[in-house]
């Protein structure tokens, strides 16, 4: 895949944060290992550890005349100066730690200095090795407009033999070091399932996008017994080839039981069979429904996208409560709300820009 526009032979500046503050922290050990790896190879990365322990607790009373405390301003400027972010995120109570969330929140204060930056996450701990914290951090990243790489993922169980760290918290496991080396291209890692209104907008108001609706209703239920000699049923192969031909994917995802629908998940799964034809593509999600307008399905779909290596845009988000006045759709299901149409247009423009960025054309 093409490198992100703007990447060059010069060193890429990476700000590395650890959510664990103790001296012998395994997660701080991962940061030290990353710094050493970047020095001892031609990765093209300059990684700087950013200490978050001196930051005060977030308190807007500390903001005086639009300025931040000196420790906060110094921290924010180091994020501004970085091209990319590396988070070493331990898992506390299935989530990120308080110190890391505090640092994230300070840097998100206006103007949000995380916005638009590529990022990666590494974790060490027991059980899943900190994996649950990564999914929460990715969800936070949607609001921050941080663009996390999907592959490879890195979480390490620090307590399973053989020993992964020494008594000082330094990474000593060679396999784990090699897995971190495979993340060397993480900075470089940085349509078409929608209703008729999206197609009409792309024809008349958003230049440079051609949207084709793909019907998924004829796909059989996923069953690997239907795969014969490495080939797929004709309906499945035709669907997969349409995804292959697309530059980007637009999902219209209603929410059923806090998740995506069965037909959509079935289509996603068929296209993920080897070779995974979703990988590396830009994606966007729109939803309409009651309550939060389908928003919960977005977060599940984004999580699925991590495995698929689909790169979803973060902003804007689009979920529409169709039951709140004024009417959003007519009796034929056509979108008639002008404000919603304008928001949908912004989705298409953002998807176009992000697609070009992933392709190295912008």
Residues 98-141 have pLDDT tens digits of 999 999 999 999 999 999 999 999 998 877 778 889 999 999 99
Is the pLDDT confidence value at 9 over 70? no
Which listed CATH number (3.60.20.10, 3.90.1150.10, 3.20.20.10, 3.40.50.360) goes with 192-358? 3.40.50.360
Calpha distance 155→176 (Å, rounded)? 9
For residue 326, pLDDT over 90 is answered with yes
Higher pLDDT, 166 or 339: 339
Domains 12-185 and 192-358 share a fold: yes
| Residues 52-98: tens digit of each pLDDT | 999 999 999 999 999 999 999 999 999 999 999 999 998 888 889 99
Alpha carbons 23 and 85: distance in angstroms, whole number: 21
Closest by Cα among 330, 341, 324 to 290: 324
> What is the topology classification, in CATH, of domain 12-185?
Rossmann fold (3.40.50)
Domain spans, the chain: 12-185, 192-358
Over residues 44-57, the mean pLDDT reads 94
* Per-residue confidence band for 182, with pLDDT thresholds at 50, 70 and 90: low
Grouping H, G, I as helix, E, B as strand and the rest as coil, residue 145 is coil
Query: What are phi and psi for residue 37, nearest 5 degrees?
Result: -65, -40
pTM of the full structure: 0.76
């Amino acid at each position: 895949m093409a490198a992100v526009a703007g990447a060059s032979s010069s060193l890429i500046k990476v700000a590395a944060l650890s959510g664990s503050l103790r001296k012998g922290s395994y997660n701080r050990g991962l940061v030290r290992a990353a710094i050493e790896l970047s020095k001892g190879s031609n990765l093209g990365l300059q990684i700087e550890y950013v200490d978050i322990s001196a930051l005060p607790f977030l308190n807007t009373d500390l903001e005086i005349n639009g300025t931040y405390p000196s420790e906060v301003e110094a921290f924010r400027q180091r994020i501004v100066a970085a091209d990319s972010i590396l988070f070493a995120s331990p898992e506390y109570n299935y989530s990120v730690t308080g110190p890391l969330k505090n640092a994230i929140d300070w840097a998100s204060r206006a103007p949000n200095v995380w916005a638009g930056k590529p990022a990666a996450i590494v974790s060490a701990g027991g059980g899943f090795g900190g994996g649950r914290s990564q999914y929460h951090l990715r969800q936070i990243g949607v609001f921050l407009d941080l663009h996390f790489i999907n592959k490879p993922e890195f979480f390490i169980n620090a307590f399973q033999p053989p020993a992964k760290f020494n008594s000082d918290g330094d990474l000593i496991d060679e396999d784990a070091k090699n897995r971190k080396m495979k993340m060397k291209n993480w900075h470089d890692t940085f349509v078409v399932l929608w209703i008729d209104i999206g197609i009409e907008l792309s024809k008349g108001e958003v230049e440079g996008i051609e949207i084709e609706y793909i019907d998924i209703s004829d796909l059989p239920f996923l069953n690997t017994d239907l795969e014969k000699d490495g080939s797929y049923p004709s309906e499945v192969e035709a669907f997969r080839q349409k995804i292959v031909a697309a530059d980007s994917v637009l999902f219209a995802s209603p929410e059923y039981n806090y998740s995506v629908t069965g037909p959509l998940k079935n289509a996603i799964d068929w296209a993920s069979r080897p070779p995974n034809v979703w990988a590396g593509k830009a994606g966007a999600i729109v939803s309409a429904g009651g309550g939060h307008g389908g928003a919960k399905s977005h977060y599940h779909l984004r999580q699925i996208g991590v495995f698929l290596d689909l790169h979803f845009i973060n902003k804007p988000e689009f979920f529409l409560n169709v039951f709140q006045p004024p009417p959003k759709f007519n009796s034929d299901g056509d979108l008639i709300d002008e404000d919603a149409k304008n928001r949908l247009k912004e989705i298409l423009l953002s998807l176009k820009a992000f697609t070009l960025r992933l392709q190295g054309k912008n």
